Amino acid sequence: MPSIKVLAEREERGVRFTGGHTLCAGCAEPMVVRTVLHAIPDPVVVASPTGCLEVATSRFPGTAWNVPWIHVAFENAAAVISGVEAAYKALKKRGLIDKRVRFVVCAGDGGTYDIGLQALSGALERGHDFLYVCLNNEAYMNTGVQRSSATPKCAAATTAPVGDVILGKPQERKDLTEIVVAHGIPYVAQAAVSHLIDLANKVERAMKYEGPKFINVLTTCPLGWRTPRDSAIQQAKLAVETRYWPLYEVIEGRYKINYKPKERVPVEEWLKTQGRFRHLFRDEQGKELMAQIQAEVDRRWEALLAKEQCFGGNG
Amino acid sequence: MRKAITGHKAVAEAMRQIEPDVVAVYPITPQSEIAEYYADYVHNGIVHTELVPVESEHSALSACVGAAAAGGRVMTATSSQGLALMVEVLYIAAGLRLPVVMALANRSLSAPINIHGDHSDAYLARDSGAVQIFAESAQEAYDYTLMAQRIAEDMRVRLPVIVNLDGFTLTHTVQPVDLLDDEPVKKFVGKFQPVSPLLDVDHPVTWGAFAMPDYYFELKRAQQAGMEAVPAVFLEVQREFSQVSGRRYQGFFEAYKLVDAEYALVVLGSTAGTAKVAVDELRAQGMKVGLLKPWLWRPFPAQAVAEAVAHVKAVAVLDRAFSFGTLGALFEDVAAALYPLERRPILANYIYGLGGRDITVPDLIKVFEELPRLTQNEWALRYIGLRE
Ligand SMILES: Cc1ncc(C[n+]2csc(CCOP(=O)(O)OP(=O)(O)O)c2C)c(N)n1
Ligand code: SF4
Ligand SMILES: [Mg+2]
């Protein structure tokens, strides 16, 4: 399993994602990208859809990518990597390439949960050999914090504002990880930027499998979540501790929860640290909404425990 | 070898002989048979191509872009709504200078939904940066699919190329087609030369960068230079192909009995075949008429077109699609081409054949017979075969 030391050594030998990009100070995205890329010892080709990561790392004529990287559009990263992987297979068959090359998508939640869902589903069904990492910061951050289907209920977003009548996003977030599980691919996991070694381990385990692999990483956006710039790690950690964002894996259909918080920390503890939920702490209506959020967190956690119970073990 | 085959089969055979590394394709009438034939080749081990049976045309072209950037030779095919879904990525393929070759089985765009032929899909991609070629017959569809590969991959060009063939009229009818042997085709098409491929992992390259106002303009200007290189490359490739095939391809268009014509018609695709019959019939009656059939539509060979019709009294330009709110796209191309001439032929613009409406020899004879009566340019659209 890759330790911090191993990751640091690999980075020293050949940094794959450099500084000098224009992601915000305190943004969690580069930590996730560096961890993922250095957890894979083989050469990699990366595809990213349009979004913060893409815009901030590829401004012509500079680039933050020291590995081959491609951006095509917002909704098609999974289709693009399908083509890259297909070309790799074709060139390998013709003896034009002999190296083992791995294929990775680093995409936002908008490019994954919403506009890119069809391309993702298609690529998963076709069984391309690639790892898809969703840098889930729970909104369209690049374009100014608009809601996505990953945005949590009640969070303020610019297209789901806190108004006199409607307080933030009325709908619950989509459970994309479970939708991906339903594709029956060999490896699916949830991770968080607060648990980087867990993330590195997941990437390493994932890459042992041939076929599509998917990791949904909770990736703090201090700007959109309205949290202090030095809080990214703490934020994600609280999301895990409150069971809002369970760390788990589904390997060949078998569920494993990687971390079970000993105490039941109310989700309120996480919500209260973020400006995007501030309106929930004003009055009775906010309390009521918070109770609904808690109930859904509990329901999903219980469902996950039950799945682990039924479909757990090492097989 | 001469065979009686459909336009579909002719294109599929060209693709089989080219044997690209990756084909990503999604079915749509009247293109589907191309996808089906190719799947047959792959599933029977006839080609080594990786087939990516995508879930949409958007993904078809996206996978082609990924595969081409990775360093593979790629092809796809589509029609109508499929092209509409691809358009976003088509502009990107051109902007990334990727040589994706695509057969477009021309079909009208919805609404109303209709599966039959017209050129609204090709017109939709007019400004995409893709080179566009029109075929009159299954033979031309086959020949130009082979030539398209060379044009797209030429280092001076490096752009996507669309080979248009009329839906049903060409895709579904059985016609005699002379197919070349595999060996000379493979020699003609040659090896694919990737540029900065993603799979060259020791030389990492950033594809699809973000360009601000400080660079965007220069990068698009460089793309325009690729387009400007097309005419010379087109003629070179035609010359070489003529040697390989024994079929004569020379020029950006076919000029049929145009040299001494007094009245001319300009039309794209299969309707040119019908027009040739009309020309012959009128010539037999002593009327000096001729035809100009562009093979190359984008880039538009304006100067050559102007020179070819400069001597004519009147020209009818036929568009098989509206460009709503203005005159037909082909008409505007021709009108702009003629503008620098000192003495310009009179022009008229006809819209015809939408949604697969038949176009007949008598229809075209009527158009020719209208031309001598024109005393000045006609700025109102005229229609062929429309009930009004
Ligand atoms: C087809 C299309 N629609 C909309 C956009 C505008 N757009 C670009 S990035 C983006 C949001 C990206 O959100 P996400 O994928 O969550 O990434 P983030 O920026 O949050 O990391 C949007 C809406 C676009 N580029 N293309
Ligand atoms: S807006 Fe958020 S996700 Fe985007 S760069 Fe800034 S902190 Fe990172
Ligand atoms: Mg996002």
Q: Are the beta carbons of B59 and A122 separated by less than 8 Å?
A: yes
Q: Give the whole-angstrom CA distance, residue B277 versus residue B218.
A: 48
| Among the partner residues A55, A61, A119, nearest to B59 by beta-carbon distance | A119
Instruction: Please give the Cα distance from A261 to A242 (Å, whole number).
Output: 8
How many Å lie between the centroid of ligand 3 and the Cα of residue A208? 28
Give me chain A's average pLDDT, please.
97
Q: Can you tell me the mean pLDDT for A272-298?
A: 97
| CB contact (8 A) between residue A68 and residue B208 | no
Minimal-distance CA residue of chain B relative to A49: B208
In contact, A315 and A252? CB cutoff 8 Å: yes
Instruction: State pTM to two decimals.
Output: 0.98
Report d(CA A39, CA A17) in Å as an integer: 13
Please give the C-alpha separations between residue A1 and each of A40, A194, A199, A200, A205, in angstroms, as whole numbers.
Answer: 11, 18, 11, 8, 9
Query: Cα A140 vs. chain centroid, distance in angstroms?
Result: 13
> Could you say which of A65, A68, A70 has the minimum Cβ distance to residue B201?
A68
- pLDDT range class, residue A3, cuts 50, 70, 90: confident
Query: Which of A54, A65, A80 lies nearest to residue B63, judging by beta carbons?
Result: A80
Structure tokens at A76: 């098609």
pLDDT at B315 over 70: yes
- Closest partner residue to A84 (CB to CB) among B48, B70, B205 is B70
Query: What are the Cα distances from residue A153, in Å, to A156, A175, A244, B13?
Result: 9, 12, 12, 55
Dihedral in degrees, nearest 10, Cα atoms A190, A191, A197, A201? 20
**B340 vs B306: CA distance, rounded Å:** 9
Residue numbers of B between 207 and 236 with CB closer than 8 Å to A:
207-212, 215, 219
Q: Which residues contact A81 (CB under 8 A, 6 or more apart)?
A: A45, A47, A103, A104, A105, A123, A128, A130, A132, B66
Site residues for ligand 2, CB cut-off 6 Å: A 23-24, 27, 29, 52, 56, 137, 141, 221-224
Put simply, whether B53 touches A (Cβ < 8 Å) is: yes
Sheet-wide strand order for B22-24: B50-52, B22-24, B74-78, B101-106, B161-166, B131-134, B296-298
Q: How far, in Å, is the centroid of ligand 1 from the Cα of A23? A: 15
Does any ligand 1 atom lie closer than 6 A to the CB of residue A109? yes
Q: Tell me the C-alpha to C-alpha distance, in Å, between residue B312 and each of A164, B8, B258, B379.
A: 72, 37, 8, 18
| Burial classification of residue B124, based on how many CB atoms lie within 10 Å of its CB (0-12 exposed, 13-18 middle, 19 or more buried) | middle
Sort strands A130-136 and A187-192 into parallel, antiparallel or unpaired. Answer: unpaired
Structure tokens that stand for A236 in this block: 């994600």
Residues of A in contact with B208 (CB under 8 A): 58, 70-72
Measured in angstroms, the CA of B191 and the nearest CA of chain A are apart by 12
Measured CA angle at B346 (ends B343, B350), to 5 deg: 150
Q: In chain B, whose CA is at the least distance from the CA of A122?
A: B55
How many residues are listed for chain A in this entry? 315
For residue range B124-144, what is the model confidence (pLDDT) as tens digits? 999 999 999 999 999 999 999
Give the confidence band of A315 by pLDDT, cuts at 50, 70, 90.
very low
Interface contact B21-A125, CB threshold 8 A: no
Query: What is the band of A95 on the pLDDT scale with cuts at 50, 70, 90?
Result: very high
Peptide bond into A222 cis (omega under 30): no
pLDDT confidence of residue A314 = 56
CA distance readout (Å), A163 to A155, A279, A280, B377: 12, 10, 12, 60
- Asked if the Cβ–Cβ distance from B48 to A63 is below 8 Å, we say no
Class of residue B285 by CB neighbours under 10 A (exposed 0-12, middle 13-18, buried 19+): exposed
Query: Are B58 and A94 an interchain contact pair (Cβ–Cβ within 8 Å)?
Result: no
Q: Tell me which fold the domain A4-311 belongs to.
A: Rossmann fold (3.40.50)
Specify the pLDDT at position B357: 97
Percent of residues in chain B assigned helix, strand, coil, to nearest 5? 40, 20, 40
Residue A136 has a pLDDT of 98
pLDDT attached to residue A295: 98
Question: How far does the centroid of ligand 2 lie from the alpha carbon of residue A223, in Å?
Answer: 6
CB B309 within 8 Å of CB B289: no
Distance CA B175, CA B136 (A): 12
CA B83 – CA B226 distance, rounded (Å): 22
Ligand 1 neighbourhood includes A2 CB (under 6 angstroms): no
The pLDDT value recorded for residue A2 is 83
Instruction: Give me the percent of chain B exceeding a pLDDT of 90.
Output: 98
Listed residues: CB within 5 A of ion ligand 3? A 108-109, 137, 141
Separation between Cα atoms, residue B85 and residue B58, nearest integer Å: 5
User: What pLDDT score was predicted for residue B388?
Assistant: 87
- Hey, which of A17, A24, A142 would you mutate to test ligand 2's pocket, going by the most ligand atoms within 8 Å of its Cβ? A24
Residue B103: the pLDDT is: 98
For the CA of A26, the closest atom of ligand 2 is 7
Closest ligand 1 atom, CA of A219? 21
Among the bound ligands, name the one nearest to the CA of residue A50: 1
**Residue with CA at minimum distance from ligand 2 atom 4:** A52
pLDDT exceeds cutoff 50 at B74: yes
H runs (alpha helix) in B19-73? 32-43, 57-70
Ligand 1 pocket, A224 CB below 6 A? no
Handedness of CA B38, B41, B45, B46 (dihedral sign): negative
**pLDDT tens for residues B28-64?**
999 999 999 999 999 999 999 999 999 999 999 999 9
Task: Give CA–CA dist B303/B336, Å, rounded.
Answer: 10
- A130 class by beta-carbon count within 10 Å (0-12 exposed, 13-18 middle, 19+ buried): buried
> Does the bond joining B30 to the residue before it have cis omega, within 30 degrees of 0?
yes
Q: Is the CB of residue A57 less than 8 Å from the CB of residue A64?
A: yes
* Overall average pLDDT of the A230-244 stretch: 98
Query: How many beta-carbon pairs under 8 angstroms link A with B?
Result: 167
Domains in chain B with CATH codes: 2-244 (3.40.50.970), 256-383 (3.40.50.920)
Q: How far is the CA of A137 from the centre of ligand 2 (A)?
A: 8
What does the pLDDT average to over B339-345?
A: 96
DSSP conformation letters of B327-343: S-HHHHHHHHHHTT-SS
Mean pLDDT of chain B: 97
A4-13, A276-285, B98-107: segment of lowest average pLDDT: A4-13
Give the Cα separation of B302 and A187 in Å (integer). Answer: 57
From the list B62, B59, B60, the residue with the least C-alpha distance to B25 is B60
What pLDDT, in 10s, does the model give residues B267-295? 999 999 999 999 999 999 999 999 999 99
Question: Hey, which residues does B354 pair with through a beta bridge?
Answer: none
Residue B61 CA to ligand 1 center (angstroms) comes to: 20
Q: Are B235 and B147 contacting, i.e. CB atoms less than 8 angstroms apart?
A: no
Given a cut of 70, is residue A254 above it in pLDDT? yes
The reply to whether residue B55 touches residue A84, judged by beta carbons under 8 angstroms, is: no
Q: How far is CA B35 from CA B8, B60, B77, B86, B104, in A?
A: 9, 11, 7, 16, 12
Kindly determine whether residue B72 and residue A86, on different chains, have CB atoms separated by under 8 Å: yes
- Asked if the Cβ–Cβ distance from B58 to A119 is below 8 Å, we say yes
* Residue A186 CB coordination number (10 Å): 17
Q: Determine the distance separating the centroid of ligand 2 and the alpha carbon of A217, expressed in angstroms.
A: 15
- Min Cα–Cα distance to chain B from A23, Å: 14
pLDDT score of A20: 86
Per residue in A133-179, pLDDT tens? 999 999 999 999 999 999 999 999 999 999 999 999 999 999 999 99
Give me the residue from B53, B68, B89 closest to A76, CB to CB.
Answer: B89
The answer for B356, left when phi > 0, alpha when psi is -120 to 50, beta otherwise, is left
- Rounded to 5 degrees, φ, ψ at B373 are -80, -15
CA distance A298 to A304: 10
Which phi and psi angles does A114 have, rounded to 5°?
A: -110, -95
Distance CA B322, CA A118 (A): 32
Q: Is the ipTM of this complex over 0.85?
A: yes
| Contact state of A71 with B209 under an 8 Å Cβ cutoff | yes
Q: How far apart are CA B369 and CA B282, in angstroms?
A: 9
Q: Let me know: does B154 contact B227? Beta carbons within 8 Å.
A: no
Q: At what angle do helices B230-245 and B182-189 cross, to 10 degrees?
A: 160
Q: Which ligand is nearest to the CA of A112?
A: 1
